[in-house]
């Protein structure tokens, strides 16, 4: 079992819809969680991070964390074709934090015009 699991997709949504991207993690000691966007051929770009249970909103993006269920999600409201990319979920483990983040394999999002 991978430490951070994501559905590889592609997830296809029409322009203007809400895209919902999901991620589960296995390490109960994980402290914080990150969402990255990666366009084809480019490097990952940090979108949001969340440390506490509940929702965190930033513009069109909302991150949701449920530590009891070991579940993280990213909602993208009013999806645009420019949101089409691979979205990576990452978790920071409960250790000293010296190690890198653990990344999922990513979900490819396609926003149809």
Question: Is 53 or 105 the residue whose CB approaches another protein more closely?
Answer: 105
Write down the residue that tokens 């402290």 correspond to: 31
Can residue 45 be called a binding residue for another protein (CB under 8 A)? yes
Dihedral of alpha carbons 98, 104, 105, 107, sign: negative
Count of residues in contact with another protein, rule CB under 8 A:
24
- Of 90, 39, 38, 40, the C-alpha closest to 63 is 90
Which of 74, 76, 88, 89 touches another protein by CB under 8 A? 88
Question: Is 17 or 67 the residue whose CB approaches another protein more closely?
Answer: 67
d(CA 60, CA 41): 24
Task: Give contact residues for another protein (rule: CB under 8 A).
Answer: 31-32, 34, 36, 40-46, 49, 88, 90, 92, 97-101, 103-106
């Amino acid at each position: 079992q991978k430490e951070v699991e994501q559905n590889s997709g592609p997830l296809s949504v029409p322009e203007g819809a809400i895209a919902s991207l999901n991620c589960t993690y296995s390490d109960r000691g994980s402290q914080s969680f990150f969402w990255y966007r990666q366009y084809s051929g480019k490097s990952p770009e940090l979108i949001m991070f969340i440390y506490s249970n509940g929702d965190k909103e930033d513009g069109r993006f909302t991150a949701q964390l449920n530590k009891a269920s070991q579940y993280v999600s990213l909602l993208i409201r009013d999806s645009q074709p420019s949101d089409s990319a691979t979205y990576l979920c990452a978790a920071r483990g409960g250790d000293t934090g010296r190690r890198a983040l653990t990344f999922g394999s990513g979900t490819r999002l396609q926003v149809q015009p």
